[in-house]
Amino acid sequence: MIEDENKQWLLSAYIGNVQILFDPPWLNLRENLRIRRILKEEQREFYPKNFEGFDRRIEDLSCVIERQVSFKKTIWDSPDYRQARADLQTVFQALLLFVDRLARQYTLIETGQGFREISESLESYAPLSDIALWAEDVAFHHQRPLVLDCDDEEEFKKVWERLDKLQCQASHLDMSLDRFAMASQAAGESYYRMHRLVDYVSSMEALLTQNQPELSFKLPLRMATLIGRSPRECQDVFDFMREVYDVRSKIVHGDDPRKFLPLKVREVEIDFEEVLGRVHSYSRRSIRFVIDLIDAGFKKKEELLDLVDLATLRSDMRNSMMSFLDSGKDGEQLHNQFKGLEKARFYDRLITEQFDESKQKTLRAMPN
């Protein structure tokens, strides 16, 4: 199918569990890319009118991400088309990272009509499931709708702009975001609960590990270093993620998950839905912090991991990294400080047999 040079195509991604309170009811991110409220007529097209519970579904919270483009050749072979799809995905990922909530991307609609017109029936694209019900199957602290209002506009744009700028610049970040989004979208599908846990851990592996020994120790430790703001919080994150990593390993090797659920952390049982909620939150925070560090100049994965390892073992580097992550300032100073210490290789202890023997002692002694 060849499109006229001036033919305008619209790509739309429908998002569940998100409420837009802007007035006018849309947020322009850049030319031809925006988020808007879903229209009532679209909601009515989303489900068959004779489907049980239809009236309640009309009130479900949703929004639409739209990207308008012009095509000069076959649409599916066009670089503009591929970039447009990537842009929609980046906005969706920014929604997931903005606050600790779960959003769900239902489908992609392609149409030659204008911004606010949908020419095709959505029934053939959308699942016949309730938008609200899927959120009831996740931990309480993030099952509430993600609400964007005028006070959030600038802050959300900052998250999206930073993510958009880094698009395709760091393959480990791209892979981590893809797996994180896959895990988040599967919320509410009971069949995929174990898959979600595997995807969350895989997302963190892509972000914070390399092909090195002791991954079951290094991944939880690095997440604890990034997330923890006190020795107690570091210990809690570390203990929890070590158990999660062990469960994930058993799942991918075919063990029956019923043997080791509910999860036990320091002899305290944690319901599996709460496990998914916590690992979602920890993963989201880790990704946000890594994006900040990449933007500060730590684009190479090796440098990023070296920085986190140094912050585990040196109070001066930890204080500098935490100051940057909590304030968003002095990124250049942090990078220069790291470069000045790079030759010292203090973090080599993380990959030696001697450190392996004293890992728990080192964790407990992590600097404030």
Count of domains for the chain: 2
Strand partners for 63: 15, 37
Could you tell me if 152 and 201 lie in one domain? Answer: no
Could you tell me if 96 and 27 lie in one domain? Answer: yes
Strand partners for 20: 148
Is residue 1 in some structural domain? Answer: no
Q: Which residues contact 217 (CB under 8 A, 6 or more apart)?
A: 242, 356, 359
Which residue among 165, 180, 201 closes a domain? 165
Report how far residue 174's alpha carbon sits from residue 18's, in angstroms, rounded to the nearest whole number: 23
Q: Which residues of the chain have pLDDT under 50?
A: 1-4, 48-59, 114-138, 343, 346-347, 350-358
Q: Which residues contact 310 (CB under 8 A, 6 or more apart)?
A: 317, 338, 341, 346, 347
Could you tell me if 126 and 268 lie in one domain? Answer: no
Report how far residue 366's alpha carbon sits from residue 243's, in angstroms, rounded to the nearest whole number: 20
Report how far residue 165's alpha carbon sits from residue 94's, in angstroms, rounded to the nearest whole number: 12
Could you tell me if 274 and 308 lie in one domain? Answer: yes
Is residue 2 in some structural domain? Answer: no
343: amino acid identity, one letter: K
Could you tell me if 205 and 340 lie in one domain? Answer: yes
Q: Which residues contact 362 (CB under 8 A, 6 or more apart)?
A: 312, 313, 349, 355
Report how far residue 248's alpha carbon sits from residue 215's, in angstroms, rounded to the nearest whole number: 13
Could you tell me if 223 and 131 lie in one domain? Answer: no
Strand (E) or helix (H) holding 37: strand 33-37
Could you tell me if 80 and 215 lie in one domain? Answer: no
Report how far residue 268's alpha carbon sits from residue 270's, in angstroms, rounded to the nearest whole number: 6
Task: Note down the domain range covering 134.
Answer: 8-109+117-165
Q: Give phi and psi for 139, each to the nearest 5.
A: -60, 145
Is residue 3 in some structural domain? Answer: no
CB atoms within 10 A of CB 9: 19
For 159-193, write each residue's pLDDT tens digit: 999 999 887 778 889 999 999 998 888 766 666 77
Report how far residue 92's alpha carbon sits from residue 164's, in angstroms, rounded to the nearest whole number: 11
Could you tell me if 192 and 140 lie in one domain? Answer: no
* Nearest of 54, 56, 38 to residue 118 by alpha carbon: 38
Report how far residue 140's alpha carbon sits from residue 9's, in angstroms, rounded to the nearest whole number: 39
Could you tell me if 239 and 286 lie in one domain? Answer: yes
Report how far residue 137's alpha carbon sits from residue 130's, in angstroms, rounded to the nearest whole number: 12
Could you tell me if 155 and 205 lie in one domain? Answer: no
Whole-number percent of the chain with pLDDT over 90: 24
Could you tell me if 355 and 263 lie in one domain? Answer: yes
Q: Residue 216 has which token pair?
A: 């079951």
Q: Residue 125 has which token pair?
A: 């694209």
Could you tell me if 154 and 209 lie in one domain? Answer: no
Q: Is the pTM here over 0.85, yes or no? A: no
pLDDT at 29: 94
